[in-house]
């Protein structure tokens, strides 16, 4: 009789857990996956995929407006929110079925129930069944964080509910200044809502390059989005179907929807972590792991947003794959968390990889900046008042490109390709030696020859 019921028990059917389960099963492991809600996790069900579909849909309004400059005469158009939501739901259901099918095809078994740790090798299912496992992987992801409770917090929605609203809000207040807040601000504005963004910091997109932050805010405000910084929501009152949002500054805003997007926290509650002896990282509130994604308990690992290292779907997938390779494939693999490309599907779009100017100047003695801000070719005919930002951060001593930051159409697509070069430690000379692809916005990345700024850090005397 086998010592354990399964070789691997995965808690969480999102991107990281699914990849780990499939790869481990392919190595011959007996695998069980528990998912209490829907297979696919945050990204597929209530995150990047439905969000990107909404972003694409909201762009259509701008395309219609821009068409006149190219000779198109488009008559009266209308938009139906219910149709968008229904079609999105259909696509998410298709993806969920594909995730489920791929796991089952690998030979792993899915149980649609909650799972809680009883000890280092035992998991108790909500059905009452107990399963023993040689290894356990926790991949429960994260959830929206509403922050400190304010009066009227019960009236506030998160990004989860935003995907299922019965109707498009005419006016919406969004608190937050990161990825989710700005992406939904662009989505709702694109569909015609009056949008106000409220953020406690001095400017949106904290942690991004300063030039990116300024450029994005300017462009969003050009598109009619109101951005209020330096204050927070203090109270939300409901009057019938409408709301009044009271700000810490003393002013108030009327709307028919209020959304908080002020961050996400790791899903660590009520999993039995304390019972199993699993440590939480006090710095970020996620499960504490080492470079191999191993927790403080030898046979228990954790990947993805629940560790609160880098909350990005491709990172969770890479971590899940590396775990399975290491533990079941006997091929030790560690994930390199440096130089991870990321995108914000705000409007305008942001793509970035590597160091910001501020980070580079803190780490390197000589930093050269190459930056351009220009009107894209489409705007010359559409008449739209918009500009593209492209910026390279270069080590002035070695000539290595340390970071690339783009704001504008297709920024994410461009950045994915540039990330390969940055990961390979390409130099500015390598960029300069590459023939430009004309006419594109991205050709600016290989035609910027003169630094716009050079920074030299003086050695301490």
> Which residue among 121, 146, 405, 438 is the active-site one?
438
Contact between 310 and 340 (Cβ < 8 Å): yes
What DSSP letter does each residue of 380-395 carry, written as one string?
HHH-----EEEEEEEE
3-state SS record for 270-329:
CCCHHHHCCCECCCCCCECCCCCCECCCCCEEECHHHHCCCCCHHHHHHHHHHHHHHHCC
Query: 434: which residues sit within 8 A by CB, 6+ positions away?
Result: 446
| Cα separations in angstroms, 280 against 9, 64, 274, 286, 358 | 20, 50, 9, 6, 30
CB-side neighbour CA atoms (13 Å) of 194: 6
Structure tokens at 435: 């023939």
Q: Which residue has the tokens 């996790």?
A: 41
Helix (H, G, I), strand (E, B) or coil at 398: coil
Residue 345 token pair = 């599907």
DSSP state of 28: T
Helix locations, 116-178, DSSP H: 159-162
Half-sphere CA count of 213, side-chain side, radius 13 A: 16
Measure the CA–CA gap between 434 and 302, rounded to whole angstroms: 41
DSSP 446: H
DSSP three-state, residue 7: strand
Residue 438 annotated as catalytic: yes
Helices (runs of H) and strands (runs of E) counted in the chain: 14, 22
CB distance 278 to 136 below 8 Å: no
Which residues are designated catalytic?
438
């Amino acid at each position: 009789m086998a010592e354990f019921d399964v070789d691997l028990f995965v808690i969480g059917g999102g991107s990281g857990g699914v990849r780990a389960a499939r790869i481990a099963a392919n190595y011959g492991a007996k695998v069980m996956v528990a998912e209490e809600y829907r297979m696919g996790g945050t990204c597929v069900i209530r995150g990047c995929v439905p969000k990107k579909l909404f972003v694409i849909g909201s762009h259509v309004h701008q395309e219609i407006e821009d068409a006149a400059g190219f000779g198109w005469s488009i008559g009266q158009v209308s938009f139906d929110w219910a149709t968008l939501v229904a079609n999105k739901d259909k696509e998410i259901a298709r993806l969920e079925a594909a995730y489920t099918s791929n796991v089952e095809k690998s030979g792993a078994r899915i149980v649609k129930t909650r799972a809680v740790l009883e000890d280092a090798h035992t998991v108790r299912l909500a059905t009452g069944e107990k399963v023993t496992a040689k290894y356990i992987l926790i991949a429960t992801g994260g959830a929206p964080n509403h922050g400190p409770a304010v009066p009227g917090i019960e009236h506030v929605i998160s990004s989860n509910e935003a995907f299922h609203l019965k109707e498009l809000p005419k006016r919406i207040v969004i608190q937050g200044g990161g990825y989710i807040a700005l992406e939904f601000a662009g989505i709702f504005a694109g569909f015609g809502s009056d949008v106000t963004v409220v953020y406690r910091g001095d400017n949106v997109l904290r942690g991004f390059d300063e030039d990116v932050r300024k450029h994005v805010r300017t462009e969003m405000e050009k598109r009619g989005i109101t951005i209020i910084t330096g204050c927070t929501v203090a109270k939300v009152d409901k009057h019938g179907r409408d709301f009044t949002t009271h700000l810490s500054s003393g002013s108030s805003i009327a709307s028919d929807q209020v959304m908080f997007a002020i961050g996400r926290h790791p899903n660590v509650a009520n999993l039995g972590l304390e019972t199993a002896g699993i440590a939480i990282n006090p710095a970020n509130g996620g499960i504490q792991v080492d470079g191999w994604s191993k927790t403080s308990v030898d046979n228990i690992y954790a990947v993805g947003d629940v560790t609160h290292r880098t909350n990005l779907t491709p990172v969770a997938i890479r971590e899940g794959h590396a775990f399975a390779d290491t533990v079941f494939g006997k091929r030790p693999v560690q994930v390199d968390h440096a130089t991870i490309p990321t995108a914000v599907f705000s409007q305008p779009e942001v793509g970035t990889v590597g160091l910001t100017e501020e980070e580079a100047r803190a780490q390197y003695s000589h930093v050269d900046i190459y930056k351009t801000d220009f009107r894209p070719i489409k705007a010359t005919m559409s008449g739209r008042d918009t500009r593209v930002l492209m910026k390279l951060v270069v080590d002035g001593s070695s000539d290595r490109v340390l970071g690339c930051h783009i704001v504008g159409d297709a920024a994410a697509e461009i950045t994915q390709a540039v990330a390969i070069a940055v990961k390979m430690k390409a130099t500015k000379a390598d960029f300069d030696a590459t023939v430009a692809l004309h006419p594109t916005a991205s050709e600016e990345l290989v035609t910027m020859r003169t630094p716009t700024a050079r920074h030299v850090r003086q050695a301490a005397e």
